[in-house]
């Protein structure tokens, strides 16, 4: 009787559909601080980062920078590397390819998307994804135009879309909004323009694919409470808020966290903003509540007493410090459900 009962349980187990675990993936963003090669490109203003300039940007320093950035990326997601990664301040496709081929990253099999932007210094954004994590990949750029200053040139927004492993559609908008050069207030209108462009791209996606998961990530050069982010882009600071875009990095800013240090204070100017379609128990691509964070292990921080705890950057002005970046990377988790 006992044998028959065990046999019955075995048969039932074989007949029942397998229990499929939801898969958690990591989405990250990293401003890598001027990842330039050592070659002079006459089409852009890259003279600051050449071997015969005051910064002495040479092959040894370039290769050391690649190795350090690879160390950061490979160390994220508990040593597995993020599944998706937005990058800021890369010069061209060549440096992105070189980064992906670093020993620490090669085994992670990153694919990348990059377009040259009209930025005067030639710094662009890029998007990395692990092979197989995104299929049917498409990409385009959205050009930021300032009607009041036609000659103004800055980074495009990189728009990447594809099918996730559970068959759901996802869009990733990689941003690097205009800097605060000239002062925060004076430069704010340009970031408002960038926010309006990002919102337009988002609305366009949602008008045709309302169920798609959309992630707006990048260095926005503004915090969650600045008008460009919460008013123009129209983000919400609460998961159960009324808006259709939720910014989980508001709570980090509120708790004194930050991805950069300015005048001895943390500022959270790097963001990953998620669409409302990723919230709630019915979401097939779900933001994992409370998973947003800043990646800043001790090896990424300055040990000099005056700047202790700051991001260990590559340069301070013309002085080579040999660090990683002037930004910490940020991340969050998403869950793929059947």
Distances (CA, A) of 58 to 70, 228, 242: 18, 38, 51
Residue 280 within a domain: yes
Least confident of 230-244, 272-286, 298-312: 230-244
Percentage above 70 pLDDT, the chain: 94
In which region does residue 100 sit, left (phi positive, over 0), alpha (psi from -120 to 50) or beta (all else)? alpha
pLDDT at 240: 75
Q: What integer is the mean pLDDT of 84-93?
A: 98
Coil/strand/helix, residue 249: helix
pLDDT at 238: 81
Residue 304 within a domain: yes
Residue 11 within a domain: no
pLDDT at 13 over 60: no
pLDDT at 205 over 60: yes
pLDDT at 144: 95
Mean pLDDT estimate for the chain: 93
Q: What integer is the mean pLDDT of 75-100?
A: 98
Q: What integer is the mean pLDDT of 302-330?
A: 95
Percentage above 90 pLDDT, the chain: 86
CATH code for the domain in which residue 318 is found: 3.60.10.10
pLDDT at 230: 95
Residue 183 within a domain: yes
pLDDT at 119 over 70: yes
What lies within 8 Å, CB to CB, of 194 at 6+ separation is 144, 154, 157, 175, 177, 178, 220, 228
pLDDT at 244: 94
Residue 332 within a domain: yes
pLDDT at 2 over 90: no
Residue 15 within a domain: no
Residue 140 DSSP class: E
Q: What integer is the mean pLDDT of 6-22?
A: 53
pLDDT at 1 over 70: no
CA distance 73 to 207: 34
Residue 270: name the closest of 254, 250, 288 by CA. 250
Q: What integer is the mean pLDDT of 131-160?
A: 95
pLDDT at 20: 47
pLDDT at 65: 98
pLDDT at 22: 83
Q: How does residue 185 score in pLDDT terms, banded at 50, 70 and 90?
A: confident
> By residue range, what is the domain housing residue 105?
20-336
Geometric angle at alpha carbon 103, from 310 and 335, rounded to 5°: 70
Coil/strand/helix, residue 114: strand
Residue 7 within a domain: no
Number of independent structural domains in the chain = 1
Residue 330 within a domain: yes
What lies within 8 Å, CB to CB, of 247 at 6+ separation is 224, 229, 230, 235, 236, 237, 271, 273
Q: How does residue 9 score in pLDDT terms, banded at 50, 70 and 90?
A: very low
CB 123 within 8 A of CB 103: no
pLDDT at 94 over 60: yes
In residues, how long is the chain? 338
pLDDT at 11 over 50: no
What lies within 8 Å, CB to CB, of 60 at 6+ separation is none
């Amino acid at each position: 009787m006992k044998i028959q009962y065990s046999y019955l349980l075995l048969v039932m187990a074989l007949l029942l559909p397998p229990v499929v675990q939801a898969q958690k993936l990591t989405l990250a963003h990293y401003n890598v601080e001027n990842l330039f090669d050592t070659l002079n490109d006459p089409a852009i203003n890259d003279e600051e980062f050449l071997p015969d300039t005051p910064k002495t940007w040479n092959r040894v320093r370039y290769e050391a920078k690649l190795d350090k950035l690879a160390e950061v990326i490979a160390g994220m997601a508990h040593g597995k590397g993020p599944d998706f990664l937005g990058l800021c301040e890369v010069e061209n496709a060549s440096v992105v390819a070189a980064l992906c081929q670093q020993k620490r990253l090669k085994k992670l099999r990153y694919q990348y998307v990059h377009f040259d932007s009209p930025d005067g210094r030639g710094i662009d954004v890029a998007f990395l994804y692990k092979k197989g994590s995104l299929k049917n990949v498409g990409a385009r750029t959205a050009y930021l135009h300032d009607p009041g200053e036609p000659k103004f040139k800055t980074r495009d927004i990189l728009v990447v879309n594809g099918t996730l492993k559970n068959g759901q559609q996802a869009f990733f908008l990689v941003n690097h909004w205009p800097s605060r050069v000239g002062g925060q207030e004076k430069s704010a209108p340009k970031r408002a323009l960038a926010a309006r462009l990002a919102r337009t791209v988002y609305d366009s996606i949602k008008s045709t694919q309302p169920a798609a998961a959309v992630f707006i990530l990048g260095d926005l050069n503004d915090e969650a409470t600045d008008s460009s982010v919460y008013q123009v882009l129209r983000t919400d600071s609460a998961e159960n808020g009324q808006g259709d875009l939720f910014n989980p990095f508001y709570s980090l800013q509120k708790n004194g966290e930050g991805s950069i240090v300015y005048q001895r204070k943390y500022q959270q100017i790097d963001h990953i903003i998620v669409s409302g379609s990723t919230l709630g128990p019915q979401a097939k691509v779900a933001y994992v509540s409370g998973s947003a964070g800043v990646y800043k292990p001790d090896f990424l921080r300055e040990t000099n007493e005056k700047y202790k705890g700051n991001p260990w950057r590559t340069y301070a002005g013309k002085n080579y410090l040999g660090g990683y970046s002037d930004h910490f990377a940020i991340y969050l988790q998403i869950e793929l459900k059947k």
